[in-house]
Structure 1
């Protein structure tokens, strides 16, 4: 869910409103930061709360906006995946999670035995598995080192080689095959407020934050309008919930059984399968 909010002083282009609403399905509102700052903050927070079914409250911190704010972009992403085949809640057990070679922490571990698409990446001594969600449009890929080999999380070797090309190669269907898998993965929730301003500037978008260099002429007739702030909050929740499918369909079924026990740090990727776009990307290092 994305929302763009602009101060009441620069008038908005009517064509822009239509494009955002109809084409991009974004919500654009004109608000008054200058004279009604607290009221506007409350309006934005309530709007985000409603749109995320109450999961995100008070998304705007005190320093997110002020009476000089011109354009504010707010993005909130809350994802609760439903698996193609649900995990049995009765099989979820507390187990030790190895955060490094010597230390462990308790975690709720979900367990299942079913058919999944799985592969081995010998160059980084790692297993990869695809866990499809219920609508089949999205999948979670887990990259799990076979053991904690370095002095930190055990992910150093994977992280050094991980890029768009290597990920495309590792997730290529020709390098994976369907097999009966005894699967154990943690039940977890990750929530984070991200400041993407530095990332956008590193990508070359420095000019949009400066009134001297920004050009929003297609958005407003007022000169000297710049993007004041970008607020981005994400939450990913992985639970047992899912459908009743017994098997994950595939052309090649290996008869032997394999095992993936994610009881130590791993990288997770949620991908839109048709476009191969990455929706979420992260690493689980500690409960």
Structure 2
């Protein structure tokens, strides 16, 4: 007989690899431009707002460490969880994620994720961008049919029967799934499972992008990166002299540089002047990001950008500070998932890894030429802490966000 209160484990994994490519390929623009009022576009502003709120929450815990996470992954997992949550638990999840149900209906939220996941997982995209949701269910537990049906229909979830009585075998089954879905980049994510766990929800997002405008590997040199006023570390730094979409925000004293990928994704890298990082962080919001995006000007710059290899590993119980509390305690109502036992989340972890490097790039016979103005261009040197955000361009969804305090690790 099962104990009266059983544990539910939520696991999120994200891998982002940004790889310069020497292939000067034409960008294929899809004829199927998304409707401005599509559900996926309607949920993207909420995801951006949440991403910034979560970023601020992490900064409040430690303002001198690397930060990297996937708002998309966290949002996907918790809205999927909301499918099976009821009463106050359900309301807290949606409100904590920033949704205003007077402005967007639940139907549009779930339709939005269905559209978004379909867009992200389209085959043949030059961008390697895939998401996956795995439901690991105790072999003795029956889930509510509607939850299984909706999670499959809206989130393309895979379901697995799991023997949680064999703790080691259950961990291996789940870790193998995460490793496979992140193409071997995130391994052994789960170190331990609560003895009462009967249900594990796993969300993975894998992103590998090639720069539309590549860096030349032979120009990469070791240069100093100023972590803070007292600490300088040597890092391998890429260099490219060319045309970029950039803007210098004089009010906030920061450079904003857009770098595009082959396919439907783009990144914004925000470089505050020395001593201005906190000022920029305090001002961050969706309106500011939209303003920067509209203000970008194509101009020549001499760009120095470090290779980056960092990871973020977070206990998502921190979301209780955004009002998502019941789901982690004995007041949790997840009866829309199973009516056989009372569930609560005992563990909720999110790990995201980012690599910005030149692995796998090869010289190509193709050559890309740009006309560079005769005037001396400014140098934009990412040799001190900076902020980054990566967006899927068709739906304007924020995939990843982070802060690089030390490119080679915390």
Q: TM-score, normalised by structure 1?
A: 0.84
The CA distance in 1 between the partners of 2:368 and 2:248, in whole Å, is 24
Distance 1:195 1:28, change over 3 A: farther
The CA distance in 2 between the partners of 1:229 and 1:66, in whole Å, is 8
Residue 194 of structure 1, aligned match among 314, 317, 332: 314
The match for 1:45 is: 175
1:153-185 Cα offsets, whole Å, 9 max, x none, are x4121112112222222222xx11101221110
Tell me how far 1:245 sits from its aligned partner.
Answer: 8.1
Distance 1:255 1:168, change over 3 A: farther
Residue 6 of structure 1, aligned match among 122, 133, 137: 137
Distance 1:74 1:245, change over 3 A: farther
Query: Which one has the bigger helix percentage?
Result: 2
Q: Count how many residue pairs are aligned between Structure 1 and Structure 2.
A: 270
The CA distance in 1 between the partners of 2:353 and 2:182, in whole Å, is 10
The match for 1:171 is: 293
1:174-221 Cα offsets, whole Å, 9 max, x none, are x1110122111001111222211221x22332222234x322232222
Q: Is the 8 A contact 2:181 2:206 kept in 1?
A: no
Tell me how far 1:246 sits from its aligned partner.
Answer: 3.5
Tell me how far 1:259 sits from its aligned partner.
Answer: 2.6
CA RMSD between the two structures: 2.5
Q: TM-score, normalised by structure 2?
A: 0.60
Query: Taking CA–CA contacts closer than 8 Å with sequence separation of 6 or more, which of the two structures ends up with the larger relative contact order?
Result: 2
Residue 266 of structure 1, aligned match among 386, 389, 404: 386
Distance 1:113 1:219, change over 3 A: same
The CA distance in 2 between the partners of 1:197 and 1:180, in whole Å, is 45
Q: Is the 8 A contact 1:180 1:255 kept in 2?
A: no
1:114-163 Cα offsets, whole Å, 9 max, x none, are 2211111011111111000111x2111111123x1x3xxx4121112112
The CA distance in 2 between the partners of 1:131 and 1:245, in whole Å, is 19
Q: Is the 8 A contact 2:134 2:158 kept in 1?
A: yes
The CA distance in 2 between the partners of 1:276 and 1:259, in whole Å, is 29
Distance 1:185 1:58, change over 3 A: same
The match for 2:348 is: 230
The CA distance in 1 between the partners of 2:367 and 2:318, in whole Å, is 43
The CA distance in 2 between the partners of 1:185 and 1:26, in whole Å, is 38
The CA distance in 1 between the partners of 2:220 and 2:173, in whole Å, is 40
What SS does the aligned partner of 2:327 have? helix
The match for 1:208 is: 327
